[in-house]
Structure 1
Amino acid sequence: MDKLWLIIKREYINKVRNRTFVIMTFVSPLIFIGVILLIGWLTSVNNSDVKRVTILDDTTQGYDLLFEETDDYQYNKLENVTLDNALAMSGKNDDYGLVHITQNEDGQVQVMMYSDDSPSLSYITSIEERISKKATEDNLIEQGVDLNTLESSRVDTTVALQTYSGVVNSKASSWVKIALGGASGYLLMMFIIIYGNMVMRSVIEEKTNRIIEIIVSSVKPIYLMLGKITGTSLAGITQFAIWVILGFVLIVAGSAIFGVEAFQNPANQDMVAQAQNTDEMQLILNDIMQLPLATMISCFFIYFIGGYFLYAAIYTAIGAAVDSETDTQQFMLPVILPLILSIYVGFFSVIDNPNGTIAVIFSYIPLTSPIVMLMRIPFGEVTWWQLGLSILILYCSIILVAYLAAKIYRIGILMYGKKTNWKDLYKWLKY
């Protein structure tokens, strides 16, 4: 057991002292925050461009009056001009587009927009809504309907959300849960892949340098494998903790220097302003506070450790079975596939029905439970016995997978010059 701790200490120190590890630990948060600032700046620059649109209204209903200039759009309204001439003028002026409004024989309004660019869906929708509203009002007037009476009779209904215990929720509560659950699951998947590959490369490097032959002569392969996995996991947790601290400091500092707007997407500012005006932001904050945050945080670390150890054992066995990183490609699909499947199940099943059969089953399967269960927890519909059973199955599976991986590891770590295949792995498991 003393040798195991020595191996863990050696692996941990070697990882945290590695130049690449140190650089990525402290540079990655800077890159991440820099990308956020760059995206915000590029979006603001993109939205600052004023688009000029030509309007040709061939009807007598005055639809061109619906288009008023804004900070983003300027309009050039043409009269008594043919469509061909309007297209020529619009193209010559390098306009964003030309909107042509006509009426067919049945009196139906038809709108065609000419543009070499791809107009945004929101802009097209706004045109459709404006013209549809006016055309509807014109039809009602022709039928003798008083629009003032109709408008005064309109009743707007707002659905308020509240739990049986009396807690008021916002309309965006589901999106908050989806965002937090999806972020947790995706983050865990990325950590498993990154640190699992780190363990695998470490095993391949020591095997290639023949250092492993010296180490194995004094340490049992099972201790060496567990030491590598544990040491790398501790280095990963250290790196993650530094990222969280640095990320928080950089966001606070960036908000103070550049302003909070630098971290916001300008496309969402209208939505944020509307939410603030209607106290929706306060309800969203209440939704976040009502989430099982303590359970989410504790389960993230429990499933991070469990999921990492499970997959790291598989990565270690693969690293021991091959002589180079190129040879690992034939074994990687069965490892990556459950992780990808977990994400798809999470977004297409858990979000729609957290207690559905598919969501529940995949939250028990060890290879998928770390991600799927983390995506179920924010919805607050996971009972304590489901959580306990999922964790128990996961950690029992770690013992089984580690035992099988150790059988491959103790043989493959000393094998050189032969390309390993699935048949060889099956033989090694029987030794």
Structure 2
Amino acid sequence: MTNPTLLVAKHTYLTRLKKKSFWWMVFSPIILIAAAALLGYGIAHFSSQQEAKIAVVGPSSSRQILANAADQLDLKISNISDDQAAKTALKANKIDGILTLDSNQGTLVTQPKAPKIDKDKLQAVLGKIALITRAKDYGLDNQQAQTLLSPFALKTEVQNQKSQANADNVEAAKSIIAVAVTIIVLVIVSTYASLIGNEIANEKSSRIMETLLAASSAQAQYFGKLLGVTALLASQLVAYVVLGAAANLFGKKIEVINQGLSYLSALTPAFILYTLIFVIVATALYLVLAAIAASLVNDISQVSQAMVPVTTLAMMPYIVGLASASNGGNNLLVRIFAYIPFMSQSTMPSLLANQYANWWQAILSLLISVLALLALGWFGQKLYAKNVLSYSDENVLKQLMRSFKRN
């Protein structure tokens, strides 16, 4: 490998790849997500184990139906059927509640700290009991009464040319993608913009840049660093894809992972690949801006100031993306943003997932961002070459604005 640009890219990539901070950056989101998922699952699991124990005072047939539906209702039905005995048990905290059934209504009395009782489910079962009782009054036998109570089965599916998916999973996946892409891009931009900023600022502050430019051109340093950092980003995303594939192969027996995979299965591989490419292209756009801004700093202490325009610009699609996560396809402004570089990565994947945009529109949006990346990259290398050896005490933001005006 003799190309100076590739040499710089290789050095930048391998230097960062060997650092523990990079691997912590890769795995820390996975660890946090896994910890949050396990915590949520644990809370839900232990909460579901607490079943309220109630006494049912009423006809024996009604008590039997409720006993048969106890698992569905997350209840335990006490053997107590006498009203006075039930009240005594309730005062002694031996039961959590008393359900008294009359001919046309029921009354539920519970302890203040009793486990939660799903009143909607309970009311549905009590409604069936009332219908059965009335059916018998009208002279219908049990089979006729059960036929009368049979619910109408309705299953909703989303149909397209290539696949069918459960509608609930599709809707959940759409919401996940709309929010996740927006947040991921903001986090990645903030992280990698700071990374490339520190890379350039460290070389300028230590006066190594003069030596580097004596051995290679500013263009090689500029594009090499961008390629190296972009390769790091691609490695991080590939690591997530590999972890996802491993979870798909070996994690199906774990309920939390299996539930997450059931949502993601509603997304096609083409859509996932498209989203990953868009994230890389969008991040590369911000990295170019970060490299231009970092070339103006004198030392590392000015990096945070230089990154303000980059992070501020990244916040705009973040806000728009979150605001448009549910029904952004009906908003004209969101549709316009879907074709604007620096903005489209947080809106177009959401529009595509929700079928507000088709594939040719999605490809067009991506191509516009790619062309913008090429144009900004070429323009940026001129600014980088002019600024990388200049040292000024003037405000970094003022220098940046003046550099753009001159070019």
Q: What is the TM-score normalised by the length of structure 2?
A: 0.71
Q: Which moved more, 1:199-208 or 1:179-188?
A: 179-188
Q: Secondary structure at the residue paired with 1:53?
A: strand
Instruction: Return the letter of the residue paired with 1:175.
Output: E
Aligned counterpart, 1:6: 7
1:234 paired with 2:231, answer yes
Q: Does the aligned pair in 2 maintain the 1:161–1:171 contact within 8 Å?
A: yes
Retained in 1: the 8 A contact 2:352–2:358?
no
- What pairs up with 1:229-268 in 2 under 5 angstroms? 229-245=226-242, 248-249=245-246, 252=249, 255=251, 260-264=252-256
CA 75–102 in structure 1, closer or farther in 2 if over 3 Å, else same: closer
Is the Cα–Cα contact under 8 Å of residues 304 and 370 in structure 1 kept in the other structure?
yes
Tell me the SS of whatever aligns to 1:341. Answer: helix
2:373 equivalent to 1:398: yes
Aligned residue in 2 for 1:133 = 128
**Cα distance between partner residues in 2 of 1:219 and 1:75:** 81
* Cα distance in structure 2, aligned partners of 1:344 and 1:209: 44
- Letter of the 1:130 counterpart: V
1:336 maps to which residue? 315
Instruction: Work out the number of aligned pairs and report it.
Output: 393
CA–CA distance in 2 between the matches of 1:101 and 1:206?
A: 79
Q: Give SS of 1:367's match.
A: coil
Instruction: Quote how far apart the aligned CAs of 1:380 are.
Output: 6.3
Give 1:314's aligned residue.
289
Shift of 1:12: 1.5
Residue 415 of structure 1 and its aligned partner are, at CA, apart by 4.5
CA separation of 1:248 and 1:40: change in aligned 2, threshold 3 A: farther
Q: Is the 8 A contact 1:29 1:247 kept in 2?
A: no
Q: CA shift at 1:13, angstroms?
A: 2.1
Tell me if the contact between 1:3 and 1:219 (Cα under 8 Å) persists in the aligned partners.
yes
Q: Is the 8 A contact 2:59 2:101 kept in 1?
A: no
1-structure distance, mates of 2:392, 2:85 = 80
- AA partner of residue 343 (structure 2): T
Contact 1:41 1:262 (C-alpha < 8 Å) held by counterparts? no
Secondary structure at the counterpart of residue 401 of structure 2: helix
Q: Which whole-Å CA distance do the structure 2 matches of 1:243 and 1:162 have between them?
A: 28
Instruction: Confirm or deny: 8 A CA contact 1:37 1:262 kept in the other structure.
Output: no
Which residue is equivalent to 1:185?
181
Which deviations, in whole Å up to 9, do the C-alpha atoms of 1:392-418 show, x marking residues without a partner?
A: 321232245446756775548745665
Q: Is the 8 A contact 1:137 1:147 kept in 2?
A: no
Distance 1:147 1:335, change over 3 A: farther
* Contact 1:102-1:109 at 8 Å conserved across structures: yes
The aligned runs of 1:68-83 (5 Å cut-off) are: 70=71, 73-76=75-78, 77=80, 79-81=82-84
Distance in 2, Cα, partners of 1:250 & 1:157: 33
1:369 alignment partner, one of 344, 347, 352: 344
Contact 1:7-1:228 within 8 A present in 2 as well: yes
* Deviation at residue 234 of structure 1 after TM alignment: 0.9
Identity rate, percent: 16
* 1:38 CA drift (Å): 4.3
Secondary structure of 2:336's match? helix
Q: What CA distance in whole angstroms lies between the structure 1 residues aligned with 2:160 and 2:243? A: 41
Question: SS at 2:327's partner residue?
Answer: helix
Paired position in structure 2 for 1:98? 97
For 1:17, the equivalent position in structure 2 comes to: 18
Over the aligned positions, Cα root-mean-square deviation in angstroms equals: 4.9
Relative distance call for 1:135 and 1:314 in structure 2 (3 A) is: farther
Displacement of 1:308:
1.6
Q: Provide the C-alpha distance between the structure 1 equivalents of 2:59 and 2:146, rounded to a whole number of angstroms.
A: 24
* Alignment correspondent of 1:224: 221
SS of residue matched to 2:76: strand
Secondary structure at 1:261 match in 2: coil
Q: CA separation in 2, counterparts of 1:185 and 1:218?
A: 40
Q: Deviations over 1:234-273 (max 9, x none)?
A: 1222233344335544764x55xxxx4324479x69xx9x
Amino acid aligned to 2:312: L
What are the within-5 Å matches in structure 2 for residues 286-301 of structure 1? 293=269, 295-301=270-276
Distance 2:129 2:362 in 1: 56
Give the aligned residue type for 1:89: A
Instruction: Classify the secondary structure of the residue corresponding to 2:97.
Output: strand
Shift of 1:232: 0.5
User: In 2, distance between residues paired with 1:333 and 1:318?
Assistant: 13
> Would you say the 8 A contact 1:5–1:227 is kept in 2?
yes
Query: Structure 2: 5+ residue runs without aligned partners?
Result: none
